[in-house]
Structure 1
Amino acid sequence: MTSVIFMGTPDFSVPVLQRVIADGYEVKAVVTQPDRPVGRKKVLTPPPVKKEALNHQIKVIQPEKLTGSAELEEIIDLDADLIITAAFGQLLPKKLLDAPKLGCINVHASLLPELRGGAPIHHAIIRGYDQSGITIMYMAEKLDAGDIISQRTVPISDEDHVGTLHDKLSKAGADLLSETLPLLIEGKAARTEQDHDKATYAWNIKREEEKIDWNRPGKEVFNQIRGLYPWPTAYTIFRDKPLKIQGAKLSKGTGAPGEVISVTDEGITFATADDQAVLVTELQPSGKKKMAAADFLRGSDVKTGEKAQYE
């Protein structure tokens, strides 16, 4: 039986780990990030992958940093045949990359060499891509630059947001890994070098990227909103307070960028830099819960001509 060490942290990784277990591989350990404080009350919370591992009585290792750590030596001493990573959150040092006889492979949520980095799902939508996918690759010391073993395309529709695309890609990753592992173990898997000249990057989202600039075309604003939902969420400044925008549709209409050009039972329509306006259907006022725009309007006398701010 092929033995593996699985390395992953967020929800994306859980179906991948579940499939490795279901396919009958010996999971010697799961390596994940340390427990972190979560929420306003800062409750110390284990990563989703840790919870799944404990459900299966699998050993859990949680290094703050792998390089030079005692945990690194512990992982190497387990002498697994293969290391599988999926959104682990740390680069693997060369000493670990060289340890397993079958190598170290990664399940990455993009069609490499496009969108290397930690937020490929967000950036695929923000940039208006009509497809993304999964790449299973051999790991290298450089970020997401290893040789490709297999890939699978996943289409993106205008109805998709980060949450829906995340779930599609997570399942596709589990499926593709299940198909790829037997070929890898038998020595029949493909190995294709990436075209590094075509590499693009999807760095983790910064706070300033969450703020809506209404001076951009409507389609770009719409893609930003769905490319940040349900986390971390796009926002605008309205009536001098942050207003999170969690649901939107493209509409038609013109006005000064950020101007309210329509108020209906469906929501609030804001003008952008072109004739594609954005109809906000779900939002979260500062200090309140998420709500339908229609509910917000019942308690707020929003009028056409008001403006969301950017500066």
Structure 2
Amino acid sequence: MILTVTPNPMLDKTLHLEQFPHGQISRTDRVLNVAGGKGINVSRQLIYPGVESVATGFLGGRIGEIINALLEKEGIKRDFVQVEDTTRIGFTVLETSTGVQTSVFEPGHRVTQSEAKQLQGKVIGMLQRSPKGDRSVEWLVCSGTVPCEGMEDFYVAILRAARETGIPVVLDTYGAPLSLGVGERPFLVKPNVKEYVETFGSETGVETADWGERAAIAALARLRGFGATAAVITDGENPAYASYGEHIWRVTPSRFRCVNATGSGDAFIAGLLYGLTKSWDCESALRFAVASGAANARRWEVACSSMAEILSVASDVRMEQLR
């Protein structure tokens, strides 16, 4: 079973408008509500290849209840910690005549020290072996931002416990949670280019405009030097770069019309985990992961690409071993 941790979930509320004029009152007759959050997206995508997962994190207030009901409807197994504050809402206006999206996200909910420790304890408890010596969690995914100030080191205790129990971790975050968490030696870290530059750019001098093969290889070495066993840096429809063992790959998806890029990084992680749980070699798992992200970006719905959709683009993914 794969356990996904989403400290900062969100109710994604999308309003469809033919035109979105600024400074005017607009009305819509189509509103789509989706349970959002990076770890939640990973759990959703894992349903399609039939991989068992459980989603956990914080939920609070009426919005938390709505998210829980949406997850129930989707069949996503979950075990969230309830907090006193209300979970955030993210508003996206889709101008259907142009395809342009405009998003505004509320700030994350407040989390008390007691609530934070409760979730950490829940996750760490799920990582432990049973009295019979077995355990249900095979992989741990710590994904997304933390909801409020003072929680920058939230992932650290969880990552340390996972390392001590021998459970591989995928860490997908940025900023202080990434710079602090990578030192706990997760199996994989997976920022995108913007997130890497935001986290380490001031230390390395690299900027998004400078990104290319040379910068990517240096960034992968830096992430692995901090303690990660493997590292992947994605860049939307551009090539992803990956490092594991002595090897570095450049993985390029086929060209396609992007409908909605939201959740593509999460679909990538779900695809990679599917391959790893099937004991695929690195190249096959990376190919499937990139295909999963690309298939996600081709449709509006987030993290729900079928196996047929993923496999239809997997053969067009170009793999290049640079080292």
TM-score bracket for this pair, using the shorter chain length:
0.3 to 0.5
Give the structure with higher Rg (CA): 1
TM-score, normalised with respect to structure 2: 0.37
TM-score, normalised with respect to structure 1: 0.38
Q: Which has the higher contact order (CA 8 A, sep 6+)?
A: 2
Structure with the largest fraction of helix: 2
